[in-house]
Structure 1
Amino acid sequence: MTQKLQLGEVNVDLSLGVISTGQNPTDATRVEPKCIAVLAELVSAYPLMISKEDLIKQAWGDVIVSDDALLRVISQLRKALKDNARSPKFIKTIPKRGYQLICSVKALPNLPAEENMPNHQVEEKRDASQGELVSHQLRHRVTLLLAILILAAVAFSAWAWIEHRRGSQEETLFTEQLERADNFYHQMRQADNEMAISLYQQSIAMRPDSAEAQSGLANAIVQRLLRWSPDVSNPQQTSMREALEQGLFATDSATVSLARAQSLALRAVELSPNNPKTHKALGFVLTAQGDFAAAKEHYEQALQLDPDAWDVLINLAGIYDIEGQPQAALNSYQRAYAAMSRRYDVDIAKIRPWHSDIGTLIADRLVLINKPTEAEIWYRKVLANEPLHIGATVGLSNVLRSQGELTEANSLCRNINERLAVEVNCYP
């Protein structure tokens, strides 16, 4: 920084620490070095404000001082400049923040050295001095701008991180709720199905564009009509064929419910055409409406997307039964059981209520087509996973009895009656 400055009409020699408010020697005041240091920082920041903290840091360095020390120095400078704090011409107080130099600032030439210089060199030196001051001011402004940009970047990064975390938490909560709804739906109990409906509706309220929530709700509505309509005598044994034969889907209320389920399923397919769950839901609705050809098309699309979609294979077997294709139905049930076995450990909550029953159904079908040996294998496969499964126990007992294995047959019946404390009729 140049050592001689003109602040307004006042000359300042920073090297000598002298402030001159007039031409007479009596108008010159020598101030302490700390005053010159503070004044130099005010000039460096010009025309911007400089905070109290920065003034103290630059003028006192690592020495810890209070604001009172700075206030005393500012007061001395104002006295030397003949300035008034209430109506300042030189140093303006920015309340609770800092100070600002508000007068004009010019660099003065070093007169003794310039007396012997040609005029053009004097002018060049003056221009260089003024340029140095402007350059310093520019650097200060650039530094300030960079600091602002850095703070803005840090603030934006913090905001983005918070928003990302909030979004991740919301996504986790939504996924967990949808998973709970799916688990309730697959339990095959009326209270669980109603809970699933409630959770699916909440999920749709949270995410109106959730294809899985809409397809799940469509499934649960059809399941309610299929198993828990007022005319259903045995919810656990009601098949799609029996429901259609009994006209459970033909009532006015059922027609309205099916229309709603169809709208949900169609919207789900529209939102997520490559999701096997959406095609499964639409196939389920179409089956209840008696449109088996369209239902099978959507079931086949679901299986192309997910060959292990065991619930689709079970529903497809139901259509084959309706169409009078028992062997195709049996094959589809066996594929469903194999798919459930592959996924059992990772999807146990959904698969467990179905796994043993489907295995027992396969064995029962084999008995009907006079394949007792294969049926025995299936019954034993089920009991290996669920030793007290009543249907598989009764079925195996009957197969063994037909083959003359009375001792094992009676032992099976006696064991399940004792352990379950119920009266299970093992005789055909």
Structure 2
Amino acid sequence: MGTVEIGDWRAHRDEGRLRRGGESRTLEPKVMDLLFLLASRPGHVFSREVLTAALWPDTTVGEDALSRCVFKLRKALEEAEGGGRIETIPKRGYRLVVAVSGTAVDRRRGPSRKALVGVAVGLCVVAGVVVVALTMTVFRPAPPVAVDRTVARATDSYYQFTRADNEAAIVLYERALQADPNAPEAQAGLAGALVQKHMRWPDGRDAPRPAGSALRAALASGRLGEPAAAADLRRAVDLAGRAAVARPRDPEVQRAFGLALSASGRLAEAAVVYDRALAEHPDDWGLLINRADLLDMAGRGDEALSMLERAYEGMDRAYAAEPVRVRPWQAELGLEIGRRHEARSETASARAWYRRTLADDPSAKVAAARLAALPPDPA
């Protein structure tokens, strides 16, 4: 049973009741959900947006709905407005300011499954992470070495970005999750591979990399909304959302979450995920490329180009540590940056980027051809 003790009150989630000695009070389901959300992270300030999205994931409610919910909870706990166990933080939100004991995380059930999935893909990414956290085991043994090896092989396959390698990655990630269903790296990896499957190889056949954004092309085609793709994308968002809870500072995990949200058409939520991750990992080339993709789709080409240039620099710094991941993409990225400068009639910048690309990868024939086609250097 999910229970939590706050002061002299004990909340019983399954019963929907507060108990203190011989006294018992009934709490409405939303009020109880609010209590358990706040109790999941005592002292943490939950914004009004996070709490609203978590409590009403599939419903549009008025601004006073949360205020009423907080009022009822305070009344049940016998608090004065603005004080006591639930503190209002002006212009920010609410937090629980007392110690909590018991099992604030109910490991058999949280809010309804529908609510959990709704929040994970809802209007507020952070709310999704919070609610998903309520269903996760707080303490999990470290995954066995065999799982780590399987995930490492799967990830190497994934980063080749071919259909066959992606299918192999899916098989390996699934195998890792059979051994450890809560392995965050496997959850995030499988989420990414499922997205790539429908974004790049929707008919199960090999295909050349699309010119431009694969995400934009897939969204525009409508194929990501087809039943099989939609089901896999829902699973991807769920997997990556749970991984994001367990690894909030892991850029690869956050990248997978953002990608799954993007492919689901949740571009604003994905941007929030990427921006939060980039605030902590400003040189992560994968995050930068994915964020640039969203900026392009929003018509913010100047910002996108700046991010792509930062991504190339990030690849340079990461190459020694992860050549298998960087090498298939760096020349292509340098070429794209050069093309964009060329399209802007910034010939000197285009020439510099083509030359840099060739210096890093002399086999980049397209970059060589584009460089040769440019007007000669001015005298």
**TM-score category by the smaller chain?**
0.5 to 0.7
Please name the residue that 1:296 is paired with: 271
RMSD, aligned CA:
2.2
Match of 1:181 among 154, 177, 181: 154
3-state SS of 1:235 partner: coil
Of residues 212, 223, 241, the one that matches 2:196 is 223
From 154, 163, 167, give the equivalent of 1:194.
167
Q: How does 1:398-409 map to 2 (within 5 A)?
A: 398-399=373-374, 402-403=375-376
CA distance in 1, matches of 2:252, 2:361: 28
**Per-residue deviation, 1:231:** 9.7
Are positions 1:287 and 2:275 aligned together?
Answer: no
Secondary structure of 1:249's aligned partner: helix
Letter of the 1:338 partner, please give it. E
- 2:320 paired residue number: 345
Structure 1 position 269 matched with structure 2 position 244: yes
Instruction: Name structure 2 gaps, 5 residues minimum.
Output: 1-140
Q: Is the 8 A contact 1:214 1:265 kept in 2?
A: yes
Q: Which consecutive unaligned segments of at least 5 residues does structure 1 have?
A: 1-166, 406-428
Q: Which residue is equivalent to 1:235?
A: 209
Using a 3 Å threshold, how does the CA distance of structure 1 residues 300 and 253 change in structure 2: closer, same or farther? same
> 1:72-110 deviations in whole A, cap 9, x for unaligned?
xxxxxxxxxxxxxxxxxxxxxxxxxxxxxxxxxxxxxxx
Question: What's the CA shift for 1:177?
Answer: 2.3
Please report how far the alpha carbon of residue 358 of structure 1 lies from its aligned counterpart in structure 2 after TM superposition. 0.6
Match of 1:370 in 2: 345
Q: What secondary structure, in the 3-state scheme, does the structure 2 residue paired with 1:380 have?
A: helix
Q: Partner of 2:223: helix, strand, or coil?
A: coil
Q: Report the Cα distance in structure 2 between the residues aligned to 1:235 and 1:354, rounded to whole angstroms.
A: 11
Q: Which has the larger radius of gyration?
A: 1
Greater relative contact order (Cα < 8 A, sep 6+): 2
Amino acid in structure 2 at the alignment position of 1:335: R
Question: What's the CA shift string for 1:315-340, capped at 9, x where partnerless?
Answer: 11110111111111101111111111
1 or 2, which has the higher helix percentage?
1
Answer yes or no: is the 8 Å Cα contact 1:228–1:235 preserved in 2: no
How far apart, in 2, do the equivalents of 1:395 and 1:231 lie? 33
One-letter code of the match for 2:302? Q
Report the CA distance between 1:234 and its aligned residue.
Answer: 3.8
Distance 1:397 1:387 in 2: 14
Instruction: Give the Cα separation in 1 of the matches to 2:266 and 2:312.
Output: 26
Counting only pairs closer than 5 Å after superposition, residues 83-122 of structure 1 correspond to structure 2 as: none
Equivalent residue letter for 1:201: E
Q: CA deviation at 1:313?
A: 0.7
Question: What residue in structure 2 maps to residue 214 of structure 1?
Answer: 187
How far, CA to CA, are the matches of 2:147 and 2:235 in structure 1?
23
CA distance in 2 between counterparts of 1:300 and 1:360 reads 25
| 1:295–1:209 CA distance, 2 compared to 1 (3 A) | same
2:252 counterpart letter in structure 1: K
Structure 1 residue 307, shift from structure 2 partner: 2.2
Partner Cα distance (1:296, 1:257) in 2:
21
Q: Report how far residue 196 of structure 1 moved.
A: 1.0
Aligned residues: 236
> 2:286 corresponds to which residue?
311
Please say if residues 182 and 350 of structure 1, whose CA atoms lie closer than 8 Å, have aligned partners that are also in contact. no
Q: Which amino acid aligns with 2:238?
A: S
Question: CA 1:395–1:373 in 2, change beyond 3 Å: closer, same or farther?
Answer: same
Asked whether the 8 Å contact 1:275–1:305 carries over to 2, the reply is no
Match of residue 230, structure 2, among 252, 255, 268 = 255
**Residue identity matched to 1:214:** Q
Rounded Cα–Cα distance in structure 2 between residues aligned with 1:211 and 1:200:
11
Paired residue type of 2:270 = A
Letter aligned with residue 235 of structure 1: R
TM-score of the two chains, using structure 2 as the length reference: 0.59
Pair 1:327–1:177, CA change in 2 (3 A): same
**Shift in Å, 1:180:** 1.8
Q: Tell me by how many angstroms 1:208 deviates.
A: 1.6
By how many angstroms is 1:230 displaced? 2.5
The residue identity in structure 1 corresponding to 2:240 is A
Aligned match of 2:177: 204
CA distance in 2, matches of 1:222, 1:257: 8
Q: Which moved more, 1:239-248 or 1:259-268?
A: 239-248
What amino acid sits opposite 1:253 in the alignment?
A
Q: Does the alignment pair 1:355 with 2:365? A: no
Query: 1-side partners of 2:184 and 2:222: how far apart?
Result: 30
Q: Secondary structure at the match of 1:381?
A: helix
1:225–1:254 contact (8 Å) kept in structure 2: yes
Report if the CA contact (8 A) 1:216-1:281 is conserved.
Answer: yes
Asked if the contact 1:320/1:329 (under 8 Å) is kept, the reply is yes
Give the fraction of aligned pairs with identical amino acids, expressed as a percent.
Answer: 34
Deviation, 1:404, is: 8.2
* Kept in 2: contact 1:188–1:236 (CA 8 A): no
